[in-house]
Amino acid sequence: MRRSLTSLVAALLAAGTISVILPMSSASAAACATAWNASAAYQGGAVVSYNGHNWSAKWWTQNETPGNAGVWADQGTCGGWTPAPSCNHPNWAAGQWYAVGSIVRYTDGNYYIAVHENPGYDPVISHWYWDPYTCGGTTPTDPPAPGGFVVSEAQFNQMFPSRNTFYSYSGLTAAMSAYPAFAKTGSDTIRKQEAAAFLANVNHETGGLVHIVEQNTANYPHYCDAGQPYGCPAGQAAYYGRGPIQLSWNFNYKAAGDALGINLLADPWRVERESAVAWKTALWYWMTQNGPGTMTAHNAMVNSRGFGETIRSINGSKECGGANPAQVQSRVNAYQRFTQILGVSPGGNLSC
């Protein structure tokens, strides 16, 4: 009697004559290593998990995102990864009350989560109340850099992992309209070097974009030069350091306000209330003021005079010429880190 093919295969399997190789299930994927931490330092050979993959460090690294930096080698998918939550949230509505934890889709297509309850404040203006929110395995709040800015929002966040939400990326890119030559002059290398130099200096001035105003309140009354014909209409103690470059003195508020078409002499508090205004004052100084140096910081970078000249333009003899080498090195360290994130050489003449 002829045996069916099915029964023949069953008999051979039972006898151990043939074996069947089944497809690997997802459960057989490698276990996920400890999750990558932006603030942790990793030696070469360290293995972490990120976005469902294990990654191996080729050399020492810190704050470089796996998948976006060449230091990490992809080791393949790993099990136990939970994908980002789906993007199924209502559209934001002005005037509607939002409790802490509410997630909305803004008119620009990006998502935001309420970190303080609020009566429907605008998420891209009221940064105290809203934070960007990532969902669906993507980062909706990291669109292509506006206006061709050489620093993406992801890179900006990588540079300033602990920044105050007041110092928003959207505030910076909005402020750049006041000085369109900023980080857009010269070669791609020059542009990236200038952006890194600017951000390294404001990083130093604000403790990593954390402090909005000068921390030593005892200094506040010192910044009124009563000899100026316009005096100090906002009060003697009103012109303390504010913003990314810590704008101070009544004459600087007057000059910056005149250049920007904003009456900062009468209302210097706008620099600590409005992100774009704060960034504009920093760009005003960077682009137009020699300070204690011999050239603007912008000219120092676009003419390849080196990062050290930008330090001289900001703090001059207070730091340069051996006056405070630790402060100079702090700025240089940030500049080197930022140029690495942007994938560009820092160039020469880093110190002053």
Amino acid at 90: P
Place of tokens 């900001």: 314
- Give the Cα separation of 187 and 302 in Å (integer): 9
Which own/partner pairs from 214-221 qualify as long-range (CB within 8 Å, at least 24 positions apart)? 214/240, 214/241, 214/242, 214/246, 214/248
Instruction: For residue 278, give the nearest of 264, 288, 292 by alpha carbon.
Output: 264
Question: Residue 61's closest CA among 51, 71, 74?
Answer: 71
Q: Cβ distance 85 to 101 under 8 Å? A: no
Q: Is 48 helix (H, G, I), strand (E, B) or coil?
A: strand
Whether 205 is a known active-site residue: answer: yes
Q: CA nearest 58: which of 47, 336, 37? A: 47
CA angle (36, 41, 47) in 5-degree steps: 45
Q: How far is Cα 346 from Cα 145, in angstroms, rounded to an integer?
A: 21
Name the catalytic one among 153, 194, 205, 309. 205
Q: Which residues of 17-38 are buried (b: 16+ CB within 10 A; e: fewer)?
A: eeeeeeeeeeeebeebbeebee
Catalytic residue numbers, as ranges: 205
